[in-house]
Chain A
């Protein structure tokens, strides 16, 4: 079994996970952007599977998703492009982020099979509740050796965090604020830092990464201080829009 996710969290001191919407800005942009990111030292690539109705996304990713869909991106193409990234790097963890309906239509088992075939290590499915995963899909994920992340929010109770930690087979995604993706701009507030510390103190068995609203080097460093890494989505998408993705990564790493 491939242990790329485990290795990333074992080896490095700080980590950056960059989210890219597949099919954006051009239908075939993903592999080239990903290769660039890997060369620049990014530690995890999160591939966003565009949805017509992305409930948890803010404007930047909504817009990128709509453009990607009008470019004609499909799940099959995404798997092909993931496989191309995998050929380029045998060690970079690849995560797909998508909505449960996309898996349902593809068929959950065929989807996981394609993940395994393309070298995709894990999934983030925000609207697949942990309970449903545990009851119906845990075995299937294990069978295809695809890992799963769960989200934690400022509202999640300590007891529930423990359950999410147990169910999680990848990293736990700490949602930095009650917000959609891309909502924040400047830095973390005192309330947010207190929340990160609270989770840090729980000494969870899964690694954690902080995401939503991260856009600066300072925030990346803070996220790495209070968890095992930072996830950047909207800020990177905005940089891609301006053709400034290389400079953006240079600035935050």
Chain B
């Protein structure tokens, strides 16, 4: 869907208008109608809001052209809104001064065809609720009436729109609806807007759901490809080929065959009865832990290696945090006989020893990253540096991060998760859609995959759980959405944990797969525009959740996935809700950490 424009009307006061402008509405309106409670009488405050980018709309009711001309000059108006009984002839005269928005009051017998005479002389239409006072009633008209509007002229919807209408407006989906006009329902008193309420409303109503990036790789303000020239050719080559190859029949057949017979897909959607009983809600676990190699990472690794082979690449590099992506890539390379180098932080090599051993047995060369925090961020730096020096190799990125088109490529390859969730809920459980989908997020590939096919369905709440480490504000955390600011890391613009000088702050989490100081641009956008809900879980909470799941359901989760389980404690569910948790990986690799934790005795243990 395209982005709706917002017009905030009935402004009367300088400071408040300044605040309204800070919310970036497309239009701000001033009412010059004597009978209105929001009548503007002096242009004195207008110069104070010079910096405002919004266009200024003057609202008039049955006055002379001269009166309008004077107000246009005094208030530097950009647009004239005629809200009375003006004829099309009058509109034509006024349109020579400034573009005209003509408002019509829609009543139950309103005939939209009567507007055709206004078509050539008005820039836009505006539909308001019928009232004796030319609008301002605070009431809505029957929006079903809009189905009768088939004229080719964009319109604004007006009349009694309130904070509770955001979702309803998003669902209107009328081809000519270009924006909405809000006023009295967002006020603390006539003419003074409630900034907080207005802010949330504008964010919700204007957001564009970001399953796909723009051609330059942007999800809203996030994404892009901020890469040194040395990588330009490689990234361009990938950009030019990935969509065509992914869409080709031979690629799709080959990947589908591998996912079915080699990986073991579809993975079960398991109704976790004991966990459901404990939390008083229906909980399903998407069992990505049952994939070959033990996590969702193999979906992406096989997808990308097939792509690399079709692009004629003969060697593969990858970065890894917990080692799951490293193992998945080493596995794919073993299967296709390609040489494989995996960059891994020195600290992670220590804490994920079983995965290091697996990679080595699979024939991959594990190269320790010894710079910085010696974890995932540094492994990614080293992989990129190697790629710069060896541009003929294929860089198989493990998450929805990196320069465009990687975030989109990885999200598409992981989208199989949500595709299956949807089908399995429908066919196996007779449930149309979940109320919640919960996933842990480091870079965000399992979350992107679990959310993907639900992004457009706003009835489904998408919950991303970050690793809070020892606590969000403890200084030892990886909660990027909460602690980050807009910056560039590993070739994309996203939320980054950084200092005011742009130096990256070392993240911390007990889970090697989540301690990343950035977040995929798609998730940064989903969380910022409030389509997604950002939660966090500490190391301690994740450990409790891991043991809880193990004892209740007999499933030992990866430490990463345990963060998603921990979110169950933090959400107020309705008993009728359906909750899907993406269990992204299994806990074998974390046994040493778990055992060490249990030695501590009763601290941070669940009550079962």
Contact = CB atoms under 8 A, between A and B. Distances in A.
A102 B232 CA distance: 21
A79 to B, nearest CB: 12
Contacts of A150: 229
Interface string B201-235: 00000000000000000000000111111101100
B150 interface: no
Contacts of A104: 486-488, 502
Interface string A73-109: 0110000000000000000000000011111111000
Contact of B501 (A66, A100, A102, A130): A102
B487 A128 contact: no
A51 B502 contact: yes
Interface hub of B228, B489, B498, B499 (most chain A Cβ within 10 A): B228
Interface in B345-387: 371-372, 377, 381, 384-385
Interface in A154-173: 155-157, 160, 164
Contacts of A55: 228, 381, 384-385, 388, 490
A127 B389 CA distance: 16
A180 interface: yes
A57 B478 CA distance: 26
B224 A179 contact: no
A41 interface: no
A62 interface: yes
Contacts of B167: none
Contacts of B381: 53, 55
Nearest to A56: B228
B498 A105 contact: yes
A175 interface: yes
B371 A62 contact: yes
Nearest to B371: A62
B518 to A, nearest CB: 10
B502 A155 contact: no
Contact of A178 (B371, B390, B504): B390
A135 B602 CA distance: 59
Interface in B384-421: 384-385, 388-391
A192 interface: no
A239 to B, nearest CB: 22
A150 B232 CA distance: 12
Given A51-B502, A51-B503, A180-B388, A129 B489 contact: no
Nearest to B505: A52
Contacts of A58: 385
A102 B388 contact: no
Given A53-B377, A53-B504, A62-B371, A152 B488 contact: no
A74 B224 contact: no
B233 A180 contact: no
Contacts of B564: none
A126 B488 contact: no
Contacts of A103: 502
A160 B232 contact: yes
Contact of A152 (B229, B489, B491): B229
B230 A53 contact: no
A132 interface: yes
B496 interface: yes
B500 interface: yes
A52 B373 CA distance: 10
A52 B503 contact: yes
A100 B496 CA distance: 13
A74 B500 CA distance: 10
A164 B487 CA distance: 25
B372 A127 contact: no
A229 to B, nearest CB: 19
A74 B501 contact: yes
Given A52-B504, A155-B391, A179-B389, A126 B498 contact: no
A153 interface: yes
Contact of A105 (B230, B371, B500): B500
B230 to A, nearest CB: 5
B498 A127 contact: no
Contacts of A160: 232
A253 interface: no
Given A104-B486, A180-B389, A151 B230 contact: yes
A48 to B, nearest CB: 14
**B interface residue count range (under 10 / 10 to 19 / 20 to 34 / 35 or more):** 20 to 34
Contacts of A164: 229
Contact of A75 (B388, B390, B488, B501): B501
Interface in B472-520: 485-491, 496, 498-504
B226 A52 contact: no
Nearest to A150: B229
Interface hub of B385, B489, B498, B499 (most chain A Cβ within 10 A): B385
A130 to B, nearest CB: 8
Contacts of B224: 132
A33 interface: no
Nearest to B386: A180
A100 B230 CA distance: 15
Contacts of A74: 501
A67 interface: no
Contacts of A179: 388-389
Interface string B224-250: 111111101100000000000000000
Given A52-B372, A55-B385, A104-B486, A151 B504 contact: no
A210 to B, nearest CB: 14
A183 interface: yes
B229 A156 contact: yes
Nearest to A57: B385
A69 interface: yes
Contacts of A127: 226-228, 488, 491
A102 B228 contact: no
Given A52-B503, A74-B501, A101-B498, A129 B391 contact: no
A101 B227 CA distance: 12
A63 to B, nearest CB: 9
B487 A101 contact: yes
B369 to A, nearest CB: 11
A126 B228 contact: yes
Interface in A20-52: 51-52
A99 B391 CA distance: 21
A153 B388 CA distance: 10
Given A53-B372, A55-B385, A179-B389, A156 B501 contact: no
B498 A153 contact: no
Interface in A174-190: 175, 178-180, 183
Given A52-B372, A62-B371, A100 B229 contact: no
Nearest to B228: A126
B489 to A, nearest CB: 7
B230 A129 contact: no
A99 B498 CA distance: 14
A157 B230 CA distance: 12
Contacts of A106: 501-502
A57 to B, nearest CB: 8
A204 to B, nearest CB: 15
Contacts of B501: 74-75, 102, 105-106
A58 B385 CA distance: 8
Contacts of A56: 228, 230, 385, 388
8 contacts: A51-B503, A103-B502, A105-B500, A106-B502, A127-B228, A128-B226, A132-B224, A156-B232
Given A66-B371, A106-B502, A155-B233, 5 more contacts: A53-B372, A69-B503, A101-B498, A105-B487, A130-B229
Closest 7 CB pairs of A and B: A105-B502, A151-B229, A126-B228, A52-B503, A102-B502, A101-B488, A101-B502
